[in-house]
Chain A
Amino acid sequence: MARSPKSVLTTSIEVEGAVFEAALMLKPDARREFLERFFRDDPEGLANMTALLEVAGESSAFFLEASERRGELADEILADLPGVPMDDGDEPSSTEEIGTRIGPYRLVERIGEGGCGVVYEAEQEHPVRRTVALKVIRLGMDTERVIARFEAERQALAMMDHPNIARVYDAGATANGRPYFVMERVSGERITTYCDREKLDVRSRIGLFIQVCHAIQHAHQKGVIHRDIKPSNVLVSREDPVPKVIDFGIAKATDDREVDLHGPRTAGDQFLGTPPYMSPEQVDMSGRDVDTRTDVYSLGALLYEMLGGRPPFDERALKQAGISEMRRILLQDDPPVLSRMLAALPLEERKQIAECRSVDADRLVAQLRGDLDGIVAKAMAKDRDARYQTVNALAADLGRFLADQPVIARAPGRLYLFGKFVRRNRVVCALGSAVALSLVVGMGASTTMYLRERDALAEQNRLRVEAEAARAVESRLREQAQARANVSQAAVLLSEGRIEEADALLQQKTLETVEPSREAAGVFRELGNWNAFYERWQRAVQYYTLLNQANRLDPPSEIVEGCEVMAISSALLAYGDTEGYDEFRREMLDLYLPARTSHQAEHLLQASLLTQADESIIDRLHDVAAVCEKGASTEIESPYPEWEAFSMALYHHRLGHSKAVLRWGEQCMSYPPETTAASGEARIAATHCLMAMARFRLGERADAEAELQKTRRQITEGRRAALSGKPSIPGEWYTWVIAQLLFDEAHQMIFGKPDETLGRN
C-alpha cells in the first residue's frame, strides 16, 4: 500500500531533520518562503516545523542548564558513595610544570589564569629566540578541531600588523592533549584598571578607546573577527601606555558553534564567552551567523564599563539567573542607560567612580548624559542593523563627540520598523532559497530511493547544501564587511575634504554590496553631488540611486524638506535616463505624499514635473499644488516664496494653463536673483523658459522667440560661472540643469527642433 510522497516526506523524522537544518541556515524571509513552499499543502507540518525552529535557541539554553543540574546530581551521588576517594587524581592537573617543554617552548613562569585557561611566559629558542605568552586552553575533547580551526584562520591572523594588536604566532597540543596558543608577550593591566589607576578623565578614556577601535577595524579589514572583546583582553602597560588587544583568533578557534568548512554550525553544547560583553547573536544559540558587528557590540560594552565603571549587565546577577534566563535577558533587555545607571548607584560608589575619572560625581553624570549615552546604546543595539555598521563609524562618532560636533547616535532610533532591509538582503535571500530549493527538488525526485537509502542520500544532499551555504555565507560576510569598511573610510576621507580619494575608493569596489545606513547615505549624498557638479552624470546617478535606497531609513518628511529629490531628478535627466526619472518620480509620490508644508509641496512639484507628466501624476499633485499655492499666496512667512511661485508656474505649465504660468512667472521674477543665494540667476532663466512657452501657446510667437533667445546666453554664461565655483551647494548645479532642461523643451516647442548651439554634455 503506497503512501503518497507528501505524507512520506512530512512524516519522516529524517526529512524533518533535514528541513530543520536547511531552514536554520536561512534568514527569516527566505526561511518563510522555503517553508511555505515545502509545506504547501500541509499546514500542520508547517506549524510543527515553525514551532521546532522557534524553540531551537531556547532548547540549547534549556539543555545547557539541565547539564548543570545533571552535574550536581552526579556530585551528590558520588558524595553518597562509601569508600570512594573524592579526589584520586582522575582529573588531570590543570597546570603545567614550570620548566616543561611544550613544542619549541620552555615554560618560564605562570603569569595568569583566565576563564579559558592558564597563561605562561615561555621562551622560544627556534627559529627565533624570544619571550612569548603561551596560553593552555582548558577544553578537553576537541583539541584537533580547535587546532584545525586555528590553522584555517592562520593566514588572516598573520596578515594583521598593527601596533595595538598582540600577534598570535602559533597553536599546538600539549603532551596531555590540550590545545595551546602562542602569542606576543604583553605585560600590562586591564584597560579598565589602567584608566582607574591613572585617574584618566572621560576624554582621555575615549582617546584610548578609539585606539582600541582602530585595532579592531584593522583586524576586520583583514577578515578577522575578535568575538571576545572584554577588559581582560585589552591590556595597557605602564611603560608604554598604548592599548594592546590580545587573544585574536582564539575565540573563533575554541568556539564549537563556529561555521567551519564542514558546513554551518549547529547551536553548540557549549557556552563560551563572557556574558556581559556578549552580543545577542552570540547568546542566541539558534545558529545565527556572527559578523563584524558582534565586535561593535562588545566594544560598546567595553566603553560602557570604561566610562561608567560598571559592566552593562551585572555579572553576578546574570550568573545566578541561570542559562535560560541569562539568554533571555541578553536577548531582550536593554542595559540601563549609562548615565542613569551611574546616577542610581549609592553615593559612595558613585563618588569612587567619579574620583577615578578626576571629576566630581554630579559632573560625571552630566558628562555621560546625552551623546555618550547615545553612542554606547547605538553600539549595543540588540538589532545589529541598528548598530554602528563598522567599528570605524563608532570611532568617528566618538571623534565627533570629542570635537563637539553633533553625533549620529542622537538621531531618532525608530527607523527599523518596516523591514527596510529586505532590499539589501534580496540577493542573499535569493541565493538561500536556491540552495534550499535544490534540497527539496532533490528529495522530491527520488522519494523511493530516498526511502531505501535515505541516510546515504540525505547525507549527500546535506553535504552539498552545506558546502554551498558555507561558501555563500563566508564570501557574503567578507564582502559586506569590506564594503562597510570602505564606506567608513570614505566618510573619514570626506571629513578631511579628500573627495577624489573617497570617490576612487568606492569606485574600485562593487558599490552594490554596501548596505544602506545613515553613514552610507551621507557618503553617497556628498559624492553624488560632487560628481554631478562636474557633470559626471553616470557616476552621480549611480550614487544617487544608492542614496535613494538608503534614504528610506529616514523619515520621509526630512527627505522632502531637503533638496535631494531635485538633485536626483535632475541628475537622472541630465544623464538622459528618462525611464529612471519616471520611475523615481512615481516612487517619490508613493513615498512622500501628502505634502505637509508649502516647502515640501514646492520640492515635490519641481522634482516630479521636470518633464511632461501623464494624468496619473498630475492628478496626484492636485493637493500638493493647493498646499504650495497657499504658501505662495498668503503673507505668512514662507522660507522660499520665490521657489513656490516657480513651482506653481511649472505646475500650470504641465496643465497647459498658460495664463496662470505667466501670472506665477511674474510673481517669481518679482523676487530678484539675489533672494536665493546660489541659484537665483538660474531660477530667473528657468522662469523665462516657462513664460516663453506660455506666450507661444497663447499665440505670441515673436515675444516667445525673443524671450527664449535672451535666456540662451544667460544659461551658457551662468553654467560656466557656476562650474568655476566650488561644488559645495547642490542647489546651484541642479537649478542650472533644470533651466537647461526647460530651455531644451521650449526650443523644441517654439522652433520645432532641438537647439544646436547650446552645448550639452
Chain B
Amino acid sequence: MQPDGSRTTDSRIAELYPQLRRLAAARMAMERPDHTLQPTALVHEAWLRLSSDRSHSWSDGEPGLFAAAAESMRRVLIDRARKHARLKRGGDLTRVPIEAAEELDVTEDDQMLLIHEAVNRLEEEDAVRARVVVLKFFGGLSNREVADEMGLTERTVERYWAHARAWLYREIRKM
C-alpha cells in the first residue's frame, strides 16, 4: 500500500515515537486553561536526546539525520490521513463525483493530503524550500533545528518558511 513500497511496521513507527509525541504535545496548545492559544509549545527534550545519542538513530549519525526522520513522519502521517479519507468516503478516493467533491468541505484530513501534494509540487520547483517545509511541518522541528540540519541561518529558515507557506497555500487554492 505504500507509495514507495517501504514497510511501515509497528516497530518502524515505534522508532518515530519521540517525534510523534512531540507533534501530539504541540496540539495540546489549543486545550490550555484560560483559553489562551499557546505557541506550539514543543517538547524538545525528546529531540535533544535523539540528536545527542546518535547511535539510537536510524541513520547512524549521517548528516541529514532529521531529514530522514521527517520523511518517515511525513509518510506515516499521510498514511493515517488517507485512511481517514477512505473511511469517510466509504471507498476509494477517486470514485467521488466531481460535483460532490466540490461541495465537500475541506476536511482536516484533506488539509493534510493537500499539503502533501503541494509539497510534491514545491519539490520540483525548489528542493531547498520543500525540505524546510518537510522538516518543519512533518518533522515538527524548530527553526533552529532546521537551520542546523540544513546549514542555513535561522533567519533564512524563517524567510523560506513564510514564502513556502504562502506558495503552498496558493497552490492548494488552485487544486
Contacts and interface: CB of A to CB of B under 8 A. Distances in A.
Given A73-B81, A115-B38, A63 B165 contact: yes
B89 interface: no
A749 interface: no
A732 to B, nearest CB: 59
A91 interface: yes
Given A71-B24, A77-B20, A21 B162 contact: yes
Given A13-B129, A274-B36, A66 B111 contact: yes
A81 B12 CA distance: 10
Interface stretch (B26-34, B51-59, B62-70): B26-34
B173 interface: yes
A501 interface: no
Contacts, number: 195
Nearest to B160: A17
B137 A62 contact: no
B166 A116 contact: no
Interface stretch (A138-146, A432-440, A659-667, A695-703): A138-146
Contacts of B18: 90
B148 interface: no
Nearest to B47: A141
B163 A16 contact: yes
A275 B37 contact: yes
Nearest to B23: A74
Contacts of B42: 140-141
Contacts of B163: 16-17, 20-21
B86 interface: no
A273 B39 CA distance: 9
Nearest to B169: A59
Interface in B111-166: 111-112, 115, 125-126, 129, 136-138, 140, 142, 144, 155-156, 158-163, 165-166
Interface in A577-602: none
A70 B23 contact: yes
Given A113-B33, A266-B159, A267-B162, A51 B170 contact: yes
A602 to B, nearest CB: 57
A78 B38 contact: no
A254 B77 contact: no
A287 B162 CA distance: 10
A412 interface: no
Contacts of B165: 59-60, 62-63, 267
Contacts of A91: 21, 25, 43, 45
B80 to A, nearest CB: 5
Given A55-B166, A91-B43, A17 B159 contact: yes
Interface residues of B, number: 66
A267 B109 CA distance: 24
A78 B17 contact: yes
B88 interface: no
A58 B168 CA distance: 11
A52 interface: yes
Contacts of B77: 70, 73-74, 77
A400 interface: no
B21 A78 contact: yes
Contacts of B161: 266, 269
Nearest to A78: B20
Contact of A274 (B24, B34, B109, B172): B34
Interface residues of A, number: 68
A56 B142 contact: no
Nearest to B45: A92
Contact of A71 (B26, B32, B37, B109): B26
B12 to A, nearest CB: 11
A273 B29 CA distance: 12
Contacts of A272: 37-39
Interface string A104-145: 000000000111100000000000000000000011111000
Contacts of A71: 23-28
A270 interface: yes
A477 to B, nearest CB: 21
Contacts of B37: 115, 271-275, 323
A275 B35 CA distance: 8
A81 B8 CA distance: 12
Given A77-B80, A138-B38, A140-B43, A67 B26 contact: yes
B34 A69 contact: no
B125 A13 contact: yes
B92 interface: no
Interface string A537-570: 0000000000000000000000000000000000
Contacts of B172: 62
Contacts of A113: 33
Interface in A12-47: 13-14, 16-17, 20-21, 24
A68 B112 CA distance: 10
A56 B162 contact: yes
Interface of B: 10, 13-14, 17-30, 32-46, 76-77, 80-81, 108-109, 111-112, 115, 125-126, 129, 136-138, 140, 142, 144, 155-156, 158-163, 165-170, 172-173
Interface of A: 13-14, 16-17, 20-21, 24, 51-53, 55-56, 58-60, 62-63, 65-78, 81-82, 84, 90-92, 113-116, 138-142, 177, 232, 254, 256, 262-263, 266-267, 269-275, 287, 315-316, 319, 323, 459, 462
15 contacts: A62-B165, A67-B23, A68-B27, A69-B108, A73-B80, A74-B20, A77-B20, A81-B10, A91-B25, A262-B155, A266-B159, A270-B40, A272-B38, A273-B36, A323-B37
Q: Which 5 A-B pairs have the closest CB atoms?
A: A115-B36, A71-B27, A270-B39, A59-B169, A266-B162
